């Protein structure tokens, strides 16, 4: 008869897993009993903090993902809006929360941009957070008033080079991903185009439609009806490839190789979360992202579902901080 300890794979696996749990708890400074409660017996509601106002893409994605995560984890998920300081108020609250998985952050591209945009932050955007998954990416579109004599980005570059400072960009928010998409375009093309700042995307779009401003990088969801109605001209999309919604609109990279700019939305926890707890919450979030209801919500905003693992998302965030830091320094942008 086989030895019950040596011969039972489940027994060996249990012992190995128990050792891993205890080692993880020691490495993170979490008492084993507290860690076990966080993973197995925690029935407290999960709060997802959103650093944006209700109704926007970040908010609606947090609610859609949170609903599905609640079903998978068997727990109530509550979304709280803490708008302000470009998402920094919500981020700071999560950075200072206990690493028990009860407080999460649905953030967006500003999480990477703010690392360079703000002279000082009350948290470290990498060390004070646990990357869980990227929920979605959302490309934008470069639109122009119909009077601008260019049908695509190649013609726009040729036209603007002979008229430095004559064209202008509507900026829907200083330091936003759309603002920096424009400055990345100028940085890579060498064009001199004047920025006209606005308090929000909607009034900026309206002034481009009215012909008060020539150009703008805008979300697809804000521009599709106006493009189809001929009130705006789509010159190029910021994704690597052309988009299914606009197969005849070239990617900007076709005229400006290497150009790409997409907003993204991601789920974070506080730093120092236990690896197994991180994996459990990340797995639930990733399953939620791939659910039919959430995918419809994401695609309805002109975005693409992602749902990558924590390690991949963590590397992505660091790369985004480095990339947008270069653009922030080029633009000279300062927080409003």
What token pair was written down for 117? Answer: 């945009």
CA distances in angstroms from 78 to 59, 62, 63, listed in the order given? 12, 9, 8
Decide if pLDDT at 24 tops 90: no
Write down the pLDDT at residue 331. 93
Write down the pLDDT at residue 215. 98
Per-residue pLDDT band for 301 (boundaries 50, 70, 90) equals confident
Per-residue pLDDT band for 335 (boundaries 50, 70, 90) equals confident
pTM of the model: 0.84
What domains does the chain contain, in order, with CATH numbers? 16-37+44-138+262-331 (3.40.190.150), 140-254 (3.40.190.10)
120-124: average pLDDT: 97
- In this structure, of 37-46, 176-185, 209-218, the range with the lowest mean pLDDT score is 37-46
For a pLDDT cut of 90, what percent of the chain falls above it?
79
Name the DSSP letter for residue 38: I
* 123 backbone dihedrals φ, ψ, rounded to 5°: -150, 160
Write down the pLDDT at residue 34. 44
248-263: average pLDDT: 96
Per-residue pLDDT band for 245 (boundaries 50, 70, 90) equals confident
Decide if pLDDT at 1 tops 70: no
* Selection from 299, 279, 280 nearest residue 289 by Cα: 299
Q: Is residue 191 exposed (0-12), middle (13-18) or buried (19+ Cβ within 10 Å)?
A: middle
Cβ–Cβ contacts within 10 Å for residue 317, how many?
22
Cβ 102 vs Cβ 71: under 8 Å? no
202-227: average pLDDT: 94
Write down the pLDDT at residue 256. 97
Cβ 250 vs Cβ 153: under 8 Å? yes
- The per-residue pLDDT for range 311-320, each reduced to its tens digit, is 999 999 999 9
Per-residue pLDDT band for 302 (boundaries 50, 70, 90) equals confident
Q: What gap in Å lies between CA 182 and CA 216, rounded to an integer?
A: 8
Q: What is the mean pLDDT of the chain?
A: 88
Decide if pLDDT at 322 tops 60: yes
100-117: average pLDDT: 97
104-126: average pLDDT: 97
């Amino acid at each position: 008869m086989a030895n019950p300890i040596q011969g039972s794979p489940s027994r060996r696996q249990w012992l190995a897993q128990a050792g891993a749990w205890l080692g993880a708890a020691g490495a993170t400074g979490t008492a084993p009993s507290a860690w076990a409660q966080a993973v197995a017996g925690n029935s407290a509601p999960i709060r997802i903090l959103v650093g944006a106002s209700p109704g926007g893409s970040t908010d609606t994605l947090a609610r859609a993902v949170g609903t599905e995560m609640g079903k998978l984890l068997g727990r109530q998920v509550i979304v709280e809006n803490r708008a302000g300081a470009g998402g920094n108020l919500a981020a700071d609250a999560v950075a200072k929360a206990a690493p028990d998985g009860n407080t999460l952050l649905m953030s967006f591209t500003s999480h990477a941009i703010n690392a360079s945009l703000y002279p000082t932050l009350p948290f470290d955007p990498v060390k004070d957070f646990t990357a869980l998954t990227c929920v979605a990416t959302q490309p934008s579109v470069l639109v122009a008033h119909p009077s601008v004599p260019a049908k695509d980005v190649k013609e726009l570059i040729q036209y603007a080079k002979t008229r430095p400072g004559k064209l202008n960009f509507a900026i829907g928010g200083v330091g936003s991903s759309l603002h920096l998409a424009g400055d990345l375009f100028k940085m890579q093309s060498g064009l001199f185009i004047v920025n006209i700042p606005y308090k929000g995307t909607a009034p900026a779009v309206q002034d481009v439609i009215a012909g008060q401003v020539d150009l703008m990088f805008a979300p697809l969801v804000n521009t599709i009806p106006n493009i189809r109605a001929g009130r705006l001209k789509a010159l190029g999309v910021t994704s690597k490839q052309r988009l299914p919604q606009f197969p005849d609109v070239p990617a900007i990279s076709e005229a400006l190789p290497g150009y790409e700019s997409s907003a993204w939305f991601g789920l974070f926890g506080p730093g120092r979360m236990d690896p197994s707890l991180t994996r459990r919450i990340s797995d639930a979030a990733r399953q939620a992202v791939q659910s039919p209801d959430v995918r419809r919500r994401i695609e309805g905003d002109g975005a693409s579902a992602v749902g990558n693992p924590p390690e991949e998302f963590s590397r992505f965030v660091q790369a985004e901080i480095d990339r947008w830091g270069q653009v922030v320094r080029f633009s000279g942008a300062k927080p409003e």
